[in-house]
Chain A
């Protein structure tokens, strides 16, 4: 049998082009379908989201992340004891035992232009977490600890809110409308879900721009798709000569790359412009003694590049691991965008992220102490 193998293109250039497909929307008889205005009340069923509960915390955070989007559209969250139901002309969210982790039911009118109702149901049988501590989340599950990592409810609600705003699933970009639970912005031990460049682009397409700006960098990237959903994996540390991934060890649930002091490595990170306008910004690349990257860390190099608000940008940067680092010790390479804080952003917490490394022990680690010979004192 004659076989044909797919031809793959090596992404050899430093400026890697992303996929050309972006967000999806729906048309009805040729019209875009969306809400008629720029705000909608979202009724949350109080018994499912009681005050102080983790479910309410997740909902509040998800709505806040949605409302940060760079279009004028917002959801106004109202808690109610009115029992929710489908097709009651109210847009609602509640928790029930359903077949999917989350689902959004959409209604639009016979004029085929506007949504009339959206209902979001979250599955009660899923083990959810609302913690921003990364070790409580699936994506950072540390098998060596006793914490039971769970699916972050906030990210799944945010995915459903994307549907409620008018977006469809998207497989061709790193984005929240693909796989939601590893679409995270992480620095240190905190991992937050966020709406992201692609969904913000879609929101602006449907509702226009509100003029707000935001940049971000994450250690996640698109690695493929599962049906309509993009799938995401960690960004890597590569050998610049071969463009292949450097050897790593899984440490606390994360890949920790083994590097030599003085070695030049290629950092892969995903940059996003979540705002309304093109930005040309400085990015600092650092090495840190902990996983929280800040401008207080040791600067390795600084670069400037432009970012369109219309494409996710997984970018490569070569840096040299300093020769004076300690041997056999953990460090974190990282990047911080808008390091001089020159841009007013709707979110400042998503500007830095890390890639764990550990320096190898080799002969360069041997420090020869000079031998001092004392003259023998003769009496």
Chain B
């Protein structure tokens, strides 16, 4: 039986206020799984950095290797190491000059617990379906997307995106010795006469959030509905990457 946990979202005043005029976004887990090489639940146990080998016209580029213990596979196969770990490679990271950063990419910290839709690991700059959209975060047992938006159920029973948990959205992110953080800047309203005013706070909103168990159960249903003949993705495999093995980044026709 699906289990949903009601949450008072009104504690997140600013987020709830924004939600008052949000159009909530639906997403198709079955479609995302169909695109994926593998879908699994895992926990980040290591984040390390290495640069690509230089190629003609392109120097060494920092990359981030994020290693997960694989706790549960929902679809396809993740080719784990003997210790049941699986490593994803993303462009960006650090080298001796500093930090390379791409806004669109998901950011991982050790201990993060995620459900990942893996696609093109070892080839794509961002080896997830729709990049950051292919990562769902489990925080305090509840499901969120990369940006801290709660996964909630809409009036038609569909998975959709709800209010932002700003603790997740603006969490600190370590890259080596540097601590990076996205910073939002708040503004007051104004009364049309030049005076700043406090924006009216809405009443506490009650939404139905997905916990990890109900999300996984619902995902199984959606995957089965989308791919009734192969819900397990028997022949789909997400290749692992070896953190110590040299690699090249051929991202550009200009680097050929």
Binding site for B on A (CB under 8 A): 1-9, 11, 15, 17-30, 32, 45, 83-88, 94, 96-100, 103-110, 112, 116, 121, 163, 168-172, 201-202, 205, 222-228, 231, 278, 280, 305-308, 310-311, 313
Residues of B within 8 A of A202 (CB): 185
Known A6-B205, A29-B178; contact A163-B103, beta-carbon cutoff 8 A: yes
Residues of A within 8 A of B179 (CB): 28-30
Asked whether B4 lies within 8 Å of A306 as measured between CB atoms, the reply is: no
12 extra interchain contacts, Cβ-Cβ under 8 A, other than A85-B255, A168-B182? A4-B206, A4-B207, A11-B21, A15-B192, A20-B187, A26-B181, A87-B59, A106-B102, A222-B21, A228-B147, A306-B192, A311-B189
| Interface residue B72 (Cβ < 8 Å from any Cβ of A) | no
Chain B residues numbered 170-187 whose CB sits less than 8 Å from any CB in chain A:
178-187
A to B CB contacts below 8 Å, 15 in the list: A5-B206, A7-B202, A22-B186, A24-B182, A27-B180, A28-B180, A30-B179, A86-B100, A87-B61, A96-B251, A99-B131, A105-B102, A227-B133, A306-B192, A311-B189
Q: Write the chain A residue with the least CB distance to B155.
A: A5
Q: How far is the CA of A138 from the CA of B205 in the complex (A)?
A: 35
Q: How far is the CA of A364 from the CA of B34 in the complex (A)?
A: 59
Residues of B within 8 A of A308 (CB): 187, 190, 194, 196
**A2, A21, A227: the one within 8 Å of B18 (CB):** A21
Q: How far is the CA of A171 from the CA of B21 in the complex (A)?
A: 12
Residues of A within 8 A of B58 (CB): 85-86
| Interface residue B38 (Cβ < 8 Å from any Cβ of A) | no
Asked whether B125 lies within 8 Å of A227 as measured between CB atoms, the reply is: no
Of B18, B162, B204, B208, which is in contact with the most chain A CB atoms at under 10 Å from its CB? B18
Residues of A within 8 A of B180 (CB): 26-28
Residues of A within 8 A of B2 (CB): 1
Asked whether B187 lies within 8 Å of A22 as measured between CB atoms, the reply is: yes
Residues of A within 8 A of B183 (CB): 24-27, 32
Asked whether B199 lies within 8 Å of A20 as measured between CB atoms, the reply is: yes
Residues of A within 8 A of B22 (CB): 223-225
Binding site for A on B (CB under 8 A): 2, 4, 6, 9, 14, 17-25, 57-61, 91-92, 96-104, 124-126, 131-133, 145-147, 149, 153, 155, 161-162, 164, 178-194, 196-197, 199-200, 202-208, 251-255
Asked whether B187 lies within 8 Å of A3 as measured between CB atoms, the reply is: no
Q: How far is the CA of A306 from the CA of B190 in the complex (A)?
A: 8
Of A7, A96, A231, A306, which is in contact with the most chain B CB atoms at under 10 Å from its CB? A7
Q: How far is the CA of A24 from the CA of B193 in the complex (A)?
A: 27
Residues of B within 8 A of A96 (CB): 251-254
**A20, A27, A94, A110: the one within 8 Å of B186 (CB):** A20
Asked whether B102 lies within 8 Å of A20 as measured between CB atoms, the reply is: no
Q: How far is the CA of A263 from the CA of B181 in the complex (A)?
A: 51
CB of B149 to closest CB in A, whole Å: 7
Residues of A within 8 A of B186 (CB): 20-22
Q: How far is the CA of A222 from the CA of B162 in the complex (A)?
A: 16
Residues of A within 8 A of B251 (CB): 86, 96, 98
Residues of A within 8 A of B6 (CB): 2, 4
Q: How far is the CA of A103 from the CA of B97 in the complex (A)?
A: 21
CB of B89 to closest CB in A, whole Å: 14
Q: How far is the CA of A313 from the CA of B191 in the complex (A)?
A: 11
Residues of B within 8 A of A205 (CB): 185
Residues of B within 8 A of A20 (CB): 14, 17-18, 186-189, 199
Q: How far is the CA of A375 from the CA of B78 in the complex (A)?
A: 101
Residues of B within 8 A of A105 (CB): 91-92, 100-102
Residues of A within 8 A of B131 (CB): 99-100
Q: How far is the CA of A121 from the CA of B103 in the complex (A)?
A: 13
Q: How far is the CA of A32 from the CA of B6 in the complex (A)?
A: 37
Asked whether A21 lies within 8 Å of B206 as measured between CB atoms, the reply is: no
Q: Write the chain A residue with the least CB distance to B23.
A: A224
CB of B176 to closest CB in A, whole Å: 9
Q: How far is the CA of A148 from the CA of B99 in the complex (A)?
A: 41
Asked whether A224 lies within 8 Å of B194 as measured between CB atoms, the reply is: no
Q: How far is the CA of A104 from the CA of B181 in the complex (A)?
A: 18
Q: How far is the CA of A17 from the CA of B186 in the complex (A)?
A: 13
Q: Write the chain A residue with the least CB distance to B51.
A: A87
Residues of A within 8 A of B132 (CB): 227-228
CB of B38 to closest CB in A, whole Å: 19
Known A5-B206, A85-B57, A85-B255; contact A226-B104, beta-carbon cutoff 8 A: no
Residues of B within 8 A of A172 (CB): 18, 184
Asked whether B178 lies within 8 Å of A112 as measured between CB atoms, the reply is: yes
Asked whether A107 lies within 8 Å of B149 as measured between CB atoms, the reply is: no
CB of B96 to closest CB in A, whole Å: 8
Q: How far is the CA of A16 from the CA of B22 in the complex (A)?
A: 15
Residues of A within 8 A of B200 (CB): 9, 17
Residues of A within 8 A of B206 (CB): 4-7
The 5 closest A-B pairs by CB, nearest first: A224-B23, A4-B206, A17-B189, A17-B199, A305-B192
